[in-house]
Amino acid sequence: MIPINREEKKKATRDNIVRCALELFAQQGYAETTVNQITDHAGVAKGTFFNYFESKEEVLCDIQLTLATEELSKLVEHPGPIIPLVREFLMEMCRKLPPERPLILALIQSTLTNRKLLELERTKNEPFKDMLADIIAAAQQRGEINASIPARMIADLAVQTYDGVLLYWGKGLGDDRLPHQMALSFELFFKGIAP
Protein backbone atom coordinates (compact mmCIF):
# COMPACT_ATOMS: atom_id res chain seq x y z
CA MET A 1 0.00 0.00 0.00
CA ILE A 2 1.35 3.42 -0.98
CA PRO A 3 1.36 5.93 1.89
CA ILE A 4 -0.67 9.09 1.34
CA ASN A 5 1.03 12.32 2.29
CA ARG A 6 -0.75 14.84 4.50
CA GLU A 7 -1.71 17.24 1.67
CA GLU A 8 -3.15 14.39 -0.43
CA LYS A 9 -5.16 13.19 2.56
CA LYS A 10 -6.51 16.71 3.20
CA LYS A 11 -7.46 17.06 -0.47
CA ALA A 12 -9.15 13.64 -0.45
CA THR A 13 -11.15 14.58 2.67
CA ARG A 14 -12.20 17.92 1.18
CA ASP A 15 -13.14 16.30 -2.15
CA ASN A 16 -15.18 13.68 -0.29
CA ILE A 17 -17.12 16.37 1.60
CA VAL A 18 -17.80 18.26 -1.63
CA ARG A 19 -18.87 15.09 -3.46
CA CYS A 20 -21.22 14.06 -0.66
CA ALA A 21 -22.69 17.56 -0.41
CA LEU A 22 -23.31 17.63 -4.15
CA GLU A 23 -25.04 14.24 -3.98
CA LEU A 24 -27.31 15.45 -1.19
CA PHE A 25 -28.05 18.77 -2.92
CA ALA A 26 -29.07 16.82 -6.03
CA GLN A 27 -31.15 14.23 -4.11
CA GLN A 28 -33.06 16.42 -1.70
CA GLY A 29 -32.35 20.01 -2.65
CA TYR A 30 -29.92 22.56 -1.28
CA ALA A 31 -32.30 24.15 1.24
CA GLU A 32 -33.24 20.81 2.78
CA THR A 33 -29.64 19.64 3.18
CA THR A 34 -27.96 20.28 6.53
CA VAL A 35 -24.31 20.27 7.52
CA ASN A 36 -25.08 17.27 9.79
CA GLN A 37 -26.41 15.33 6.80
CA ILE A 38 -23.33 16.20 4.76
CA THR A 39 -20.95 15.06 7.51
CA ASP A 40 -22.94 11.86 8.10
CA HIS A 41 -22.93 11.08 4.38
CA ALA A 42 -19.21 11.86 4.10
CA GLY A 43 -18.36 9.86 7.22
CA VAL A 44 -16.54 12.76 8.86
CA ALA A 45 -16.97 14.65 12.12
CA LYS A 46 -18.67 18.02 12.11
CA GLY A 47 -15.39 19.60 13.23
CA THR A 48 -13.69 18.13 10.16
CA PHE A 49 -16.29 19.80 7.94
CA PHE A 50 -15.58 23.15 9.58
CA ASN A 51 -11.83 22.69 9.06
CA TYR A 52 -12.56 23.03 5.33
CA PHE A 53 -15.76 25.09 5.07
CA GLU A 54 -17.49 27.70 7.21
CA SER A 55 -20.96 26.80 5.94
CA LYS A 56 -22.88 24.82 3.35
CA GLU A 57 -23.02 28.06 1.31
CA GLU A 58 -19.24 27.92 1.02
CA VAL A 59 -19.48 24.32 -0.19
CA LEU A 60 -21.99 25.34 -2.88
CA CYS A 61 -19.80 28.28 -3.97
CA ASP A 62 -16.84 25.91 -4.24
CA ILE A 63 -18.90 23.37 -6.21
CA GLN A 64 -20.14 25.99 -8.68
CA LEU A 65 -16.67 27.35 -9.41
CA THR A 66 -15.15 23.86 -9.64
CA LEU A 67 -17.87 22.64 -12.01
CA ALA A 68 -17.57 25.78 -14.11
CA THR A 69 -13.80 25.37 -14.44
CA GLU A 70 -14.08 21.66 -15.26
CA GLU A 71 -16.76 22.25 -17.91
CA LEU A 72 -14.90 25.19 -19.44
CA SER A 73 -11.63 23.25 -19.60
CA LYS A 74 -13.33 20.88 -22.07
CA LEU A 75 -13.70 23.78 -24.53
CA VAL A 76 -10.07 24.94 -24.50
CA GLU A 77 -8.86 22.64 -27.28
CA HIS A 78 -12.11 22.46 -29.25
CA PRO A 79 -11.35 23.05 -32.95
CA GLY A 80 -14.84 24.08 -34.12
CA PRO A 81 -17.06 27.11 -33.48
CA ILE A 82 -16.91 28.16 -29.86
CA ILE A 83 -19.95 30.42 -29.39
CA PRO A 84 -22.52 27.57 -29.56
CA LEU A 85 -20.48 25.59 -27.03
CA VAL A 86 -20.20 28.58 -24.69
CA ARG A 87 -23.99 29.05 -24.94
CA GLU A 88 -24.51 25.40 -23.96
CA PHE A 89 -21.95 25.76 -21.15
CA LEU A 90 -23.92 28.73 -19.74
CA MET A 91 -27.19 26.81 -19.90
CA GLU A 92 -25.59 23.80 -18.22
CA MET A 93 -24.32 26.02 -15.40
CA CYS A 94 -27.83 27.47 -14.98
CA ARG A 95 -29.34 24.00 -14.80
CA LYS A 96 -26.95 23.14 -11.95
CA LEU A 97 -28.02 26.14 -9.87
CA PRO A 98 -30.87 25.95 -7.37
CA PRO A 99 -34.05 27.06 -9.22
CA GLU A 100 -35.44 29.15 -6.35
CA ARG A 101 -34.99 32.94 -6.50
CA PRO A 102 -34.76 33.42 -2.70
CA LEU A 103 -32.03 30.78 -2.52
CA ILE A 104 -29.97 32.43 -5.28
CA LEU A 105 -30.35 35.78 -3.53
CA ALA A 106 -29.38 34.21 -0.17
CA LEU A 107 -26.26 32.67 -1.76
CA ILE A 108 -25.27 36.04 -3.23
CA GLN A 109 -25.88 37.77 0.10
CA SER A 110 -23.91 35.17 2.03
CA THR A 111 -20.99 35.55 -0.38
CA LEU A 112 -21.01 39.33 -0.16
CA THR A 113 -21.16 39.37 3.63
CA ASN A 114 -18.62 36.62 4.31
CA ARG A 115 -15.01 37.70 3.82
CA LYS A 116 -13.77 34.12 3.37
CA LEU A 117 -16.44 33.30 0.76
CA LEU A 118 -15.72 36.53 -1.09
CA GLU A 119 -11.99 35.79 -1.16
CA LEU A 120 -12.66 32.21 -2.29
CA GLU A 121 -14.76 33.48 -5.17
CA ARG A 122 -12.10 36.04 -6.13
CA THR A 123 -9.25 33.55 -6.13
CA LYS A 124 -11.17 30.79 -7.91
CA ASN A 125 -12.55 33.21 -10.49
CA GLU A 126 -9.07 34.18 -11.73
CA PRO A 127 -8.09 30.78 -13.22
CA PHE A 128 -11.60 30.50 -14.64
CA LYS A 129 -11.32 33.91 -16.33
CA ASP A 130 -7.83 33.05 -17.62
CA MET A 131 -9.19 29.88 -19.20
CA LEU A 132 -12.17 31.76 -20.65
CA ALA A 133 -9.83 34.42 -22.07
CA ASP A 134 -7.80 31.68 -23.82
CA ILE A 135 -10.98 30.29 -25.40
CA ILE A 136 -12.06 33.78 -26.48
CA ALA A 137 -8.61 34.48 -27.98
CA ALA A 138 -8.85 31.25 -30.00
CA ALA A 139 -12.33 32.26 -31.21
CA GLN A 140 -10.97 35.70 -32.12
CA GLN A 141 -8.24 34.09 -34.24
CA ARG A 142 -10.92 32.12 -36.08
CA GLY A 143 -12.98 35.26 -36.69
CA GLU A 144 -15.89 34.32 -34.39
CA ILE A 145 -15.40 37.21 -31.97
CA ASN A 146 -14.37 40.83 -32.47
CA ALA A 147 -10.57 40.83 -32.23
CA SER A 148 -10.32 44.55 -31.40
CA ILE A 149 -11.54 43.90 -27.83
CA PRO A 150 -8.95 42.27 -25.53
CA ALA A 151 -9.88 38.67 -24.74
CA ARG A 152 -9.39 39.20 -20.99
CA MET A 153 -11.77 42.17 -21.07
CA ILE A 154 -14.44 40.04 -22.75
CA ALA A 155 -13.88 37.29 -20.15
CA ASP A 156 -14.30 39.82 -17.32
CA LEU A 157 -17.47 41.19 -18.89
CA ALA A 158 -18.87 37.68 -19.38
CA VAL A 159 -18.41 36.93 -15.66
CA GLN A 160 -19.96 40.30 -14.78
CA THR A 161 -22.93 39.55 -17.03
CA TYR A 162 -23.42 36.09 -15.50
CA ASP A 163 -23.25 37.43 -11.94
CA GLY A 164 -25.52 40.34 -12.85
CA VAL A 165 -28.17 38.03 -14.28
CA LEU A 166 -28.09 35.93 -11.09
CA LEU A 167 -28.55 39.02 -8.92
CA TYR A 168 -31.29 40.46 -11.17
CA TRP A 169 -33.16 37.16 -11.27
CA GLY A 170 -32.65 36.53 -7.55
CA LYS A 171 -34.35 39.88 -6.82
CA GLY A 172 -37.48 38.58 -8.57
CA LEU A 173 -36.95 40.41 -11.86
CA GLY A 174 -36.98 39.18 -15.44
CA ASP A 175 -38.17 35.85 -16.78
CA ASP A 176 -39.48 33.31 -14.26
CA ARG A 177 -37.00 30.74 -15.58
CA LEU A 178 -33.33 31.47 -14.90
CA PRO A 179 -32.05 29.69 -18.06
CA HIS A 180 -34.33 31.87 -20.22
CA GLN A 181 -33.13 35.06 -18.49
CA MET A 182 -29.50 33.96 -18.89
CA ALA A 183 -30.03 33.08 -22.57
CA LEU A 184 -31.63 36.45 -23.32
CA SER A 185 -28.86 38.40 -21.60
CA PHE A 186 -26.07 36.45 -23.27
CA GLU A 187 -27.71 36.67 -26.68
CA LEU A 188 -27.24 40.43 -26.43
CA PHE A 189 -23.75 39.93 -25.01
CA PHE A 190 -22.72 37.72 -27.96
CA LYS A 191 -24.10 40.27 -30.44
CA GLY A 192 -21.96 42.91 -28.76
CA ILE A 193 -18.75 40.92 -29.29
CA ALA A 194 -19.56 39.69 -32.79
CA PRO A 195 -16.96 40.45 -35.49
pLDDT tens over the chain, length 195 residues: 455 688 888 889 988 998 898 788 778 877 788 999 999 999 999 999 999 988 887 887 777 777 777 778 777 777 778 888 888 888 888 877 777 788 788 778 777 887 777 887 787 788 889 989 999 998 999 899 999 999 999 999 999 999 999 999 999 999 999 999 999 999 999 999 999
- How wide is the angle at C-alpha 132 spanned by C-alphas 86 and 98, nearest 5°? 60
**Choices 3.90.1300.10, 1.10.357.10, 1.20.1560.10, 1.10.1040.10: CATH for 55-192:** 1.10.357.10
- Burial level of 60, CB count in 10 A (0-12/13-18/19+)? buried
The model's pTM is 0.74
Cα dist from 25 to 18, 71, 96, whole Å: 10, 19, 10
Report the top-level CATH class of 1-53: mainly alpha
CA 21 distance to own-chain centroid: 15
Which run of H or E residues covers position 112? helix 101-113
Domain locations along the chain: 1-53, 55-192
